[in-house]
Amino acid sequence: MRDTFNLRSRFQARFGPRTPAPRAFFAPGRVNLIGEHTDYNDGFVLPVALELGTTVIAAPRDDRRVRVHTVDLDASAEIDLDQPGPGNTGRWIDYIAGVAHMVDTTIQPIRGADLLVAGDVPRGAGLSSSAALEVATGFALLSLAGATIDRVALALAGQAAEHTFVGMRCGIMDQLVSACARVGSALLVDCRSLAAEAVPLPGGPVAILITDTRKKHALATSEYNTRRAECERGVALLRSALPDIRALRDVTEEAFTKHASLLPEPILRRVRHVVTENARTQFAADALRRGDIEAVGASFVASHRSLQHDYEVSCPELDALVDLAIAQPGVRGARMTGGGFGGSTVSLVDESALDAVMAAVRDAYQRRFRVEPGFLITRGGAGARELDT
């Protein structure tokens, strides 16, 4: 989380002093423990909020204009809420313009504002810096308008912003955990009903280690939308035998095995991943509740192999990090996390082994790829909130 005192000073230097003082808001990024590419198939996910995210310093205006400055890019832009949004321009402002318009039209009318935005989630690492930006911005604009925050509605507005203004047909997971996470817990989310259950993390002797490949992924320009279309094709083909299914979430492992002959390649493998990943996610959540870390770790590895071979969204860097991690003593399991084609892995590691694991992985990965991986340890952060003055 960025230093809000410094950010408030920068806000005043850019926008001028305000009475009352500008307010500070924060929303976290996330790491998904398991449940990858299941959210847009109405399935189950098990993410954890990070302690890192996006901070927004905000003050209201008397008009309907939103002026924004991003500290990270040292860039400014302006939005007129009374004019149609510009759509997908490919610029950073698309995320903010999208959520401002969606909040204004789907939740309640908002007023103009001056916003200073700063983030500390590594962009392109698969840790959802974009959802943190959307949720923090929406939370700030609604709070300035005096709204009672409906966190699920806020998450849906962020998702709609990505669909409409960014061109990324994302599921609801990233925005929902950024809005609704609880400290020290993963969030088991049913992406159809949006029901969310806090599942306590093991804590104590086991840490969640995130390792950044340093290979940036760009989901909106990757094969993400292609994978979503392949899943939809799988549903259409399976309906000849399973007429009541609405999404792959409705296909059990038994039904998939029975009717797999209806599916050509690569649709068959895409469907197999989603069906088995939904089962793994629910199994892993139950194992966490029991404190069975070995079972959770085994689910991680099975998930990665499915993403690697059936869903084909991994890459050599992700595969190397997983293989290096699970070869180390004290690592209970590892997998890629996020959309894929780059980004990060997540591992369950004994606290006592963390330094040795990071050193071994760093050295071997650097020798192979000529770049040093990044490391981040999390114990589960809280969702979006206003920060103390």
Q: Residues with catalytic annotation?
A: 174
Q: Which two tokens stand for residue 233?
A: 């094709």
For 362, phi then psi, to 5°, come to -60, -50
CB 169 within 8 A of CB 228: yes
CA distance 210 to 78: 35
Q: Which two tokens stand for residue 352?
A: 């006592």
Cα angle at 25 between 21 and 31, to 5 degrees?
165
**Cβ count near 88 (within 10 Å):** 15
Q: Which two tokens stand for residue 179?
A: 């809005």
Among 350, 353, 383, which Cα is nearest to 204's? 350
Q: Which residue has the tokens 């840790």?
A: 127
3-state secondary structure 198-255: EEECCCCCEEEEEEECCCCCCHHHCCHHHHHHHHHHHHHHHCCCCCCCCCHHHCCHHH
Q: Which two tokens stand for residue 158?
A: 């962020």
CA distance 68 to 175: 21
